[in-house]
Amino acid sequence: MLCAAALLAAAVPAWAVPESLLRNSPFMPAGSAAPTQPTQPGRLELRGIMAIGGTPKFTIFDTSNNRAIWLAVGESDGGIRVSAFDPATEAVTVELDGQSQRLTMKEAQIVNVAVAMPTPTANVMPSPPAGANPAPAGNEQEIQERRNRIVEELRRRRALRQAPQPQPATR
C-alpha cells in the first residue's frame, strides 16, 4: 500500500494540488494532518517505503547517476546511509558526504498525454464471411415483399404462442 502511495505521490507536484484537497484528502483518515511538503529538490529523493518482514525499507533515488537503492535504517550503499525514519511524517534522514538531509516522499508529476482517436470511416457494409451465400440484391419491391413475409410469419408464430393450449386428458 505504501508503494502505491509512493507512486501516486511521485506523480503530482505540490503546486498542482488544490489546498482544499490537501486539507481534506480522501485517502487520509478524517482529522489527520496534511502531508508534509518535501524539502528543496536535491540529489537524493525518497521514492518508496515498504515494510519487509516488519522492517521498513526505503527507496532512495540518486539523481546524479539515476540509481535507486533500497535501504533500511542503519544500512548504507554507495556513500548513502539512512540514519533515521519518522513514521508519523513518513520522512527519512539520510547522510551523504558527511551531510545529513531529511527526505519526504517525492511529489508525483502528472503529465497529460494527447491520445489520437481513430477517424470515423464511411459506413461500409462488411463483406460476408467466406463460404456464406450473400442475400441476392433485389429491387425495392422485392425487399418490401420479403419484409412483409417476415412480419406475417412473426404474427403467425405469436398467435400460436398466445392460443390456448389443449390440456392433456387426465385419467
Domains, the chain, ordered by start: 2-103 (2.30.30.830)
pLDDT of amino acid 94: 94
Q: Is the pLDDT of residue 75 over 90?
A: yes
Q: Report the alpha-carbon distance of residue 83 to residue 103 in Å, rounded.
A: 11
Higher-pLDDT residue of 17, 148: 148
Q: Report the alpha-carbon distance of residue 42 to residue 145 in Å, rounded.
A: 80
Strand partners, 77: 80
pTM over 0.95: no
Those residues whose C-beta lies under 8 Å from the C-beta of residue 93, and which sit 6 or more positions away, are 82, 83, 84, 85, 86, 100, 101, 102, 103
Mean pLDDT of the chain: 77
pLDDT in tens, 38-65: 434 578 999 999 988 889 999 999 988 9
Q: Report the alpha-carbon distance of residue 72 to residue 92 in Å, rounded.
A: 10
Higher-pLDDT residue of 67, 38: 67
